[in-house]
Structure 1
Amino acid sequence: MGHYIEVEPNVKVFVEDIGEGQPVVFIHGWPLNSKSFEMQANELALQGFRFIGIDLRGFGKSDKPWSGYDYDTQASDVKAVIDHLNLENFVLGGFSMGGPIAIRYITKYGQQGVDKLLLMAAAAPLFTQRDDFSINMKAEEVDDIIEQIKQDRPAFLAQFADMFFEQKKSDKFLHWFQMLGLEAGAHSTINAAIALRDEDLRGELAGITVPTAIFHGQKDQICAYELGEELEKQIPNSVLVPFKDSGHGINGDEPERFNTEMINFLKSSGVK
């Protein structure tokens, strides 16, 4: 079933809530929504878990206010959902942009209630290069993406779908993926891209002590595999799970292996 939850006055986010058991909270990537995890929702419910998929503000069925696309506000929206649903002993999962939002949630609100952390193709600790950080995109490349979105968002999303997956996908699947991106607000897509470009989480990783799994595609063209290696180095109780045949969309490129690894991690007592 779906809930609309007020995260601040006059801003509601949509939450998909499926199954029963230990809650697994999924935070989606840019510029998608919780429907991008539909194959995981089904598997989790079958395996005795409760799938909680949040549409971040600006995306999917959620309200699309003008502002609030920085990680602090997005993390505060996640907190509002967790509090409203009285979730305890939950797993926090973040895909792509959802990865740094999950990390920022822990930085801001602590690990109380968080059983495990699952980072999937995470855009962390940084999405763009700095003078002292040479991994992934340059800031100007994100500026170019923003320009393309302003000029022809549907065309950009079609091209983005091609970059997203390593394995061949049907035209129908790519069209569906493009439609998920079109459900977002144009301004939301742009403002969240600015957050991706500018936010820096390098100082926030050492304090994460919950068991953490880092799923990352070795052929990822959007969040380089080296980002996953960097996260494993800096998060104390973490394990990196490489997906050698995957690009960015690991749950679409290797869906069976993704679900198997996900369920194994959820059912394990830890990672080390």
Structure 2
Amino acid sequence: MPYVKVEKGVRIFVEDLNPDGEQTVLFIHGWPANHKMFEYQFNQLPKCGIRCIGVDIRGFGKSDKPWEGYSYDSLADDINCVIETLDLDDITLVGFSVGGAIAVRYMNRYSGYGISKLALVSAAVPVFTQRPDYPYSLPVGEVNKLICQTYTDRPNMLSEFGKKFFASNMSPQFLNWFSGLGLEASGHATASLAISLRDEDLRSDVQQISVPTAIFHGIHDQIVAFANAEITHQNISGSVLIPFEFSGHGLINDELDKFNYCLTQFLCMS
């Protein structure tokens, strides 16, 4: 079942690897990419008996690209449809960047239905942009600039954003591949989700999470500062914070082996 219908005229693309795996992990990708950003996890985790399910959120990758529905509530509703349609239970939910924000909203909105563990990776929580009482995130003006560039020169925006994504010296070919993931999205969806990133606030949501939670975050993250991970850790009771000393936002590639190992260890914890 490569597509899940979430509402009239909107289907979400789903890739299901190793359906007979002993453990199930549902991955929610970050802005502005799609589920293929987890290629280097999907190459390895199924070998450990792990079922990996990657979704393209609406507007991105191979999913349908409606004009509306890019609030965290709507995107969490889409995840709920995937979980119910695939009859998933006792799974680990992995959210990267805005995928982490969507995961947190899902946990609050649906009381963690079907989820036994949560992994927040470079997560855009609790707040992606600065507030008068929250100085740790990006200035609103920087996100407005990304939105403007999306509507005027999206290929260049994606290229420049990719340069800030990683702390490692990624090859030009890798960076071109990564930018290409963003081009698979619709421009309108890219801008609309950036607006949600700019405006939504998850400070009350994170306090409602009660499942075992691991927070993976790069020390040198230029997109979501490490201070956000520390605050999230403080607000999720019993959570574990795993710093990545040589990583930026793209820690799943910056420290690929360490991330795959730490995630697998987290999945194996009883």
- Same structural fold, with TM-score higher than 0.5 when normalized by the shorter chain: yes
The alignment partner of 2:185 has SS state of: coil
1:206: how far off? 1.8
The Cα offsets for residues 71-99 of structure 1, whole Å up to 9 and x where unpaired, read as: 00000000000000000100011000001
Distance 2:144 2:93 in 1: 30
What secondary structure does 1:32 align onto? coil
Deviates more, 1:111-120 or 1:221-230: 111-120
Q: Which residue of 1 aligns with 2:242?
A: 241
Tell me, what secondary structure is at the counterpart of 1:126? coil
SS at match of 1:64: coil
Aligned partner of 2:55 in structure 1 is: 54
Equivalent residue runs for 1:88-237 within 5 Å = 88-237=89-238
Which moves more between the two structures, 255-264 or 142-151?
Answer: 142-151
Say which is worse superposed, 19-28 or 30-39, in terms of deviation.
19-28
For residues 71 and 58 of structure 2, the distance between their equivalents in structure 1, rounded to whole angstroms, comes to 11
TM-score with structure 2 length normalisation? Answer: 0.98
Aligned partners of 2:218 and 2:251 also within 8 Å: yes
Deviation, 1:141, is: 1.3
Indicate the residue corresponding to 1:3 in structure 2: 2
Quote how far apart the aligned CAs of 1:151 are: 1.4
2:22 matches 1:13: no
Q: How far apart in 2 are the matches of 1:94 and 1:18?
A: 17
Q: Unmatched 5+ residue regions in structure 1?
A: none
Separation in 2, partners of 1:44, 1:11:
30
SS state at 1:223 partner: coil
Q: Deviations over 1:101-136 (max 9, x none)?
A: 000001111123211000000000000011110011
The one-letter amino acid of 1:18's match is: L
The DSSP-based 3-state class of the residue aligned with 2:118 is strand
The answer to whether the Cα contact below 8 Å between 2:217 and 2:226 also exists between their aligned partners in 1 is: yes
RMSD: 0.8
Other structure's SS at 1:188 match: helix
What TM-score does the superposition give when structure 1 sets the normalisation length?
0.97
Q: CA deviation at 1:138?
A: 1.2
Q: Contact 2:83 / 2:114 at 8 angstroms: preserved in 1?
A: no
Question: Does 2:66 correspond to 1:42?
Answer: no
Q: Deviations over 1:130-185 (max 9, x none)?
A: 11100111112111111111111001111111100000011110010000000000
Q: Distance in 2 between the 1:76 and 1:211 partners?
A: 22
Instruction: Indicate if the aligned counterparts of 2:167 and 2:220 stay in contact, CA closer than 8 A.
Output: yes
Map of 1:29 onto structure 2: 30
* Alignment partners' CA distance in 1, 2:188 and 2:60: 10
The residue type equivalent to 2:252 in the other structure is: N
Structure 1 residue 196: deviation in Å?
0.1
- Please give the alpha-carbon distance, in whole angstroms, between the structure 2 residues aligned to 1:147 and 1:113: 38
CA contact (8 A) 2:167 2:254 kept: yes
User: Residue type matched to 1:180 in 2?
Assistant: L
Q: Distance in 2 between matches of 1:215 and 1:196?
A: 19
Residue 67 of structure 1 is matched in structure 2 by: 68
Give the Å deviation of 1:21: 2.4
Paired with 1:21 and 1:29, the residues of 2 have a C-alpha distance of: 26
Taking the aligned partners of 1:198 and 1:225, their CA distance within structure 2 comes to: 20
Counterpart residue type for residue 267 of structure 2: L
Partner of 1:260: 261
Instruction: Tell me which stretches of 4 or more aligned residues in structure 1 moved more than 6 Å.
Output: none
One-letter amino acid matched to 1:9 = K
- The amino acid across from 1:48 in the alignment is G
CA distance in 2 between counterparts of 1:112 and 1:29 reads: 22
SS class of match (2:43): helix
